[in-house]
Amino acid sequence: MKWMSSLFLVLTMLCFLRTEVVAETKTQTRFVQPEKENLRATPNGKKIGELLQGTELMVQEKKGKWLKVQVTGWIYEPSTTPNKAEIKMWQEKKQKLVEFVNSKVERLSTKEIYGLEVSQPHIRAYFQFQNNAKKTLTGLVYETTFMDSFGDVLYKTTMKSQLKIAPGQQNKMDTYWYWEDNPFIDGEVYDKLQSAVGAGTIKVKVRIKKAVFEDGSIVNF
């Protein structure tokens, strides 16, 4: 009878363990709590998307503090493709929609106020872009890095420009960003750039982050 008691104990434990597993993997519904949360391919792995607050999730599996979830929803068909290779092609094409062409950075000792030349040292930065899209470009957001001849970063900022560039055209370099010398404050943008600009060794790197077109469409890079 001892072996029967042992068998009963083993079966009871297996049943208990099975109940635990079922409870652990049983499908349940949860909702995204923060404003947005990352969706990853594996626990703490590559980010593959973002889920907005309130998104309904069907839990398929649990590993520690990570949940494998299924999201049900609808998506605009033209925004999908049966061929994954087309995604890479689109990414490469998107990078060429708008391209940085040229820049000019200069230091001037005077500026014109109401037709009069007034002593006011300042720096001007001009930027030129090429619109390769088939619609008119009306705005750009781009990250600009100014470096010296050694490649050391002097100043880095994100710029937002309202401009109008027709399809296949470039903008004229007739508008500029402007930084004045303030003799009472040290360490401002003018102070950081003036040496390299004056020596003609300033280097400029531009990374386009967002483009806005006349039809209201926005492309993020």
DSSP-based three-state secondary structure for 131: strand
Q: Which domain holds residue 21?
A: 2-73
pLDDT tens per residue across span 1-11? 444 455 444 44
Let me know if residue 180 belongs to a domain: yes
Q: Are residues 20 and 101 in the same domain?
A: no
Q: Are residues 45 and 152 in the same domain?
A: no
Q: Are residues 103 and 212 in the same domain?
A: yes
Let me know if residue 149 belongs to a domain: yes
Q: Report the CATH number at residue 191.
A: 2.60.40
Q: Are residues 125 and 192 in the same domain?
A: yes
Element at 133 (helix H, strand E): none
Q: Are residues 125 and 215 in the same domain?
A: yes
Q: Are residues 44 and 151 in the same domain?
A: no
Let me know if residue 32 belongs to a domain: yes
Q: Which residue has the tokens 């008119």?
A: 136
Position 22 scores a pLDDT of 40
Let me know if residue 129 belongs to a domain: yes
Q: Are residues 67 and 145 in the same domain?
A: no
Number of domains in the chain: 2
- Beta strands (DSSP E) in the chain are 28-31, 36-40, 47-52, 56-63, 66-70, 98-113, 116-131, 137-147, 153-165, 177-180, 203-213, 218-220
Q: Which of 73, 105, 134 is the last residue in one of the domains?
A: 73
The rounded distance, in Å, linking the Cα atoms of 166 and 145 is 26
Is the CB of residue 213 less than 8 Å from the CB of residue 136? yes
Q: Which of 21, 44, 73 is the last residue in one of the domains?
A: 73
Q: Are residues 215 and 169 in the same domain?
A: yes
Q: Are residues 102 and 174 in the same domain?
A: yes
pLDDT tens per residue across span 96-138? 899 999 999 999 988 665 566 667 899 999 999 999 999 999 9
Let me know if residue 120 belongs to a domain: yes
Let me know if residue 199 belongs to a domain: yes
Let me know if residue 79 belongs to a domain: no
Q: Are residues 167 and 210 in the same domain?
A: yes
Q: Are residues 191 and 143 in the same domain?
A: yes
pLDDT tens per residue across span 35-87? 889 999 999 999 989 988 889 899 999 999 999 999 988 888 887 888 888 77
Let me know if residue 85 belongs to a domain: no
pLDDT tens per residue across span 133-178? 999 999 999 999 999 999 999 999 999 999 999 999 999 999 999 9
**13-36 mean pLDDT:** 63
Q: Are residues 21 and 118 in the same domain?
A: no
